[in-house]
Amino acid sequence: MRLDGLIQFAHAIGAIATPTGLFNVVWATLLGMAVGMMPGLTATLGVALLTTLTFRMDAGDAILILVCTYVGAIYGGSRSAILLNIPGTPANAASTLDGFPLARQGRAGEAMGIATVGSFFGSLIGMLLLVLIAPQLAEFGLKFQSFEFVWLAIFGVVISGRITAMDDPIKGWIAGFLGLLLAQVGQEGIHAYPRFAYGSTDLAGGLGLLPALVGAFGFAEILCVMKQANYQTVRDSGRRIVPRLADIVGRWWTILRSGVAGTVMGIIPGVGEDMGAWVSYAAARRASRDPDSFGKGNTEGLLAAETGNNAAVPGAIIPVLTLAVPGSAPAAVLLAAMFIHGIRPGPLIMVEFPNFVFEVAAMLFWASVAILVLGLALTRPMLHVLRVPRDYLMPLVFVLCVVGSYAITSRVFDVWVMLGFGVMGFALREMGYPMAPLVLGIVLGDLLDKNFRRAMVLSDGSLEPLLTRPISAGLGLVTLLVLLWGLAPVRRAAGRLFGVRR
Amino acid sequence: MLCAACAAVTLHMPAQRRTDLWFAVVLTAFSLVVAVESWRMPRLAELGVNPMSAPGLTPGLLALVLVVLGIALLWRSLRAPTAPDDTATVVEGAADDPPARATWPRALLALLLCLVYALGLLGRLPFMWATGLFVFAFIAAFSFDRARPMRALGGALLMAVAVAASVSLLFEQLFLVRLP
């Protein structure tokens, strides 16, 4: 990092340290933690609802609140993973593997402490990498033209579909391309022709991203949660909460490796926090001298998973800021929020908003501090959140979904969009289709459309530049490899060819 | 006729494959319709627009990709059962204790209540009344099998008043958000 960058970063940290700024950090992080803790309420839903409810606020305050909610929710999900064996958000699924066995051994407090410290360091490592990588990536992004953005959009849904549906990639790809197609409804961005509108002014206005997200992650989640009979009750948290210093210092390598792995997984479009946790967990297990103890209450496994998922938060924000391509579903909402507040993320971010990257890094810094302090200090009071009956909570969440979808444009049509996406999201989930590629597709649909048609006009209908321009060809090749990697016959053939045991 | 053929084919299939097959048929048909509609979109040639920037180009190509994916899913669903793909590296959840039994009537009841609120009550009743009624009905409907139903109904009433009043005041007065 150059010295002026460091100074801007320090200034940004100081600028938030006002009574109002810190008040916003505390309540938004606490709200995020509560949202993350409650099974059925995800980080995406929390950030989406707050985006709709804070859009009249000052841009800096609103983005700070959203970033803190995002970090808090990904961290908060570890509580229910440890205490209930139910990941509070999908990002905490890997934390159940060792967190819940620790709770069963009467070491729930220790597990929560380790998860807190891991999340804190994960966020910090991700934040540092954001400050280091984002300006470079934005500069690299300046070389992108329409041809490269076309491949970036296709690569995003292909890799997201592949990784979020590891055992059935075709479903991930269907979700991703369906998202891209749904984004084509409404006035297109070149000639303002209303596609698939059939005379309806509502359809001509397009399907709003936020109502769609609130539906797919809020209403669909309500239906999923209400489908389940009651969960188990909360267990005792045990005595020790603050982890021993030696437990943390002795595992610096696990923290660093998981932080870097989580950030890298976050950067990959539409992959996000859950894969950050899984990859970090798998790496920790591979590196461990005692891999058999993983899944039976190994604190290192929990530390790796929680460091990895929180490191993926800044990681997912890196492509949001520099390429306007979200690294995860909550980051997609954050991208939409930035557009609403007049910030235009993309390769020109360091030119048009030179301080913004450092301001976001400072927001992540304060959110990390908040989860450490609040997470350790409020362990026992926060357990009450898990005792709220779902029958009481879900109608409130639905009311917020309705209010949130209506809030931005005051269109009843947006409530219908929310309902439609909710029912569709519920049905797709029940059939095993992942939501992240769908969301990424909806976000990238406009980018793909405008750039593909521009590219075709520039090349006079020739596909050659898509395959011959260096960056474009590179992205195309990676997309092809990801596609082939997803095809079972290709994997089997490669296994036979290279003698890999399947 | 297509439906009858599908019904006959799916009779002895495992549930997941049957669902995949039905969804593949719906997806392929829907995507074909979208592809045709995209082809029929105006090319705006009379305005001197380059045919490569025609509005239907991108949705048409995306629909064709979905047709291919739909056919691939259809083909896979119709194949003889194969061994599960053991190359998957991600194992979802630990689940020593499976979380809970899933029940469809609960989901359908929740769906019905939410739709009645969003499409039926809002707009016809003032927001506060509609919200109070919805929250009360939702909690009461899912509390009927509780040990002490009267206590549950009391809780539902209390929650309904609290949510209706606090959401209205908080969002209208503090967040300055317009309510439906």
The complex scores an ipTM of 0.84
Lowest mean pLDDT among A313-322, A479-488, A491-500: A491-500
Q: What is the pLDDT of residues B118-165, one digit of tens each?
A: 999 998 999 999 999 999 999 999 887 666 778 888 889 999 999 999
**Do A418 and A249 touch, CB atoms closer than 8 A?**
no
Least CB–CB distance from B178: residue in A170, A410, A426: A410
Q: Do B180 and A403 touch (CB under 8 A)?
A: yes
Q: What is the pLDDT of residues A209-242, one digit of tens each?
A: 889 988 988 899 889 888 877 655 445 555 666 7
The pLDDT of residue B7: 57
Lowest mean pLDDT among A315-319, A370-374, B175-179: B175-179
The pLDDT of residue B88: 41
Statement: residue A92 has pLDDT above 70: yes
The pLDDT of residue B147: 64
The rounded distance, in Å, linking the Cα atoms of A128 and A4 is 15
Q: Which long-range contacts (CB under 8 A, 24 or more apart) does B159-166 make?
A: B159/A392, B159/A395, B159/A396, B159/B135, B160/B131, B160/B132, B160/B133, B160/B135, B160/B136, B161/B132, B163/A395, B163/A396, B163/A399, B163/B131, B163/B132, B163/B135, B164/B128, B164/B129, B164/B131, B164/B132, B164/B135, B165/B128
Amino acid occupying residue A35: V
What mean pLDDT comes out for the span A181-192? 93
Instruction: Mutation target for B interface from A187, A402, A447, A485: give the one with most B CBs within 10 A.
Output: A402
Tokens 């380059």 identify what position?
B50
Least CB–CB distance from B69: residue in A100, A173, A403: A173
Q: Do A491 and B87 touch (CB under 8 A)?
A: yes
Q: Do B180 and A419 touch (CB under 8 A)?
A: no
Statement: residue A323 has pLDDT above 90: yes
The pLDDT of residue A488: 77
Position A499 confidence tier, pLDDT thresholds 50, 70, 90: low
B106 neighbourhood in chain A, CB within 8 Å: 226-229
Calculate how close chain B gets to A390, using CA atoms only, in Å: 9
**Do A106 and A340 touch, CB atoms closer than 8 A?**
no
Q: What is the pLDDT of residues A12-62, one digit of tens each?
A: 999 999 999 999 999 999 999 999 988 778 899 899 989 987 888 899 999
In this prediction, what percent of chain A has a pLDDT beyond 90? Answer: 60
Query: For residue B98, what is the DSSP state?
Result: -
Q: What is the pLDDT of residues A113-164, one digit of tens each?
A: 999 999 999 999 999 999 999 999 999 999 999 999 999 999 999 998 988 8
Q: CB contacts < 8 Å between A and B, how many?
A: 204
Q: Do B88 and A166 touch (CB under 8 A)?
A: yes
Q: What is the pLDDT of residues A48-82, one digit of tens each?
A: 989 987 888 899 999 999 999 999 999 999 998 88
Calculate how close chain B gets to A348, using CA atoms only, in Å: 25
Closest Cα in chain B to A220: B111
Calculate how close chain A gets to B126, using CA atoms only, in Å: 14
The pLDDT of residue A122: 97
Amino acid occupying residue B31: S
Closest Cα in chain A to B166: A396
SS3 of residue A186 by DSSP: strand
Statement: residue A476 has pLDDT above 80: yes
Calculate how close chain A gets to B13, using CA atoms only, in Å: 15
The average confidence (pLDDT) of chain A is: 89
Query: For residue B118, what is the DSSP state?
Result: I
In chain A, what are the domain boundaries? Answer: 3-498
**Do A246 and A411 touch, CB atoms closer than 8 A?**
no
The pLDDT of residue A184: 96
B143 neighbourhood in chain A, CB within 8 Å: 391
The pLDDT of residue A501: 46
Lowest mean pLDDT among A120-124, A248-252, B22-26, B84-88: B84-88
The rounded distance, in Å, linking the Cα atoms of A358 and A295 is 38
Q: What is the pLDDT of residues B55-111, one digit of tens each?
A: 999 999 999 999 999 999 999 998 855 544 444 444 343 344 444 455 888 899 999
Q: What is the pLDDT of residues A482-497, one digit of tens each?
A: 998 888 777 778 777 7
The pLDDT of residue B92: 40
For residues B68 and B6, the model is more confident at B68
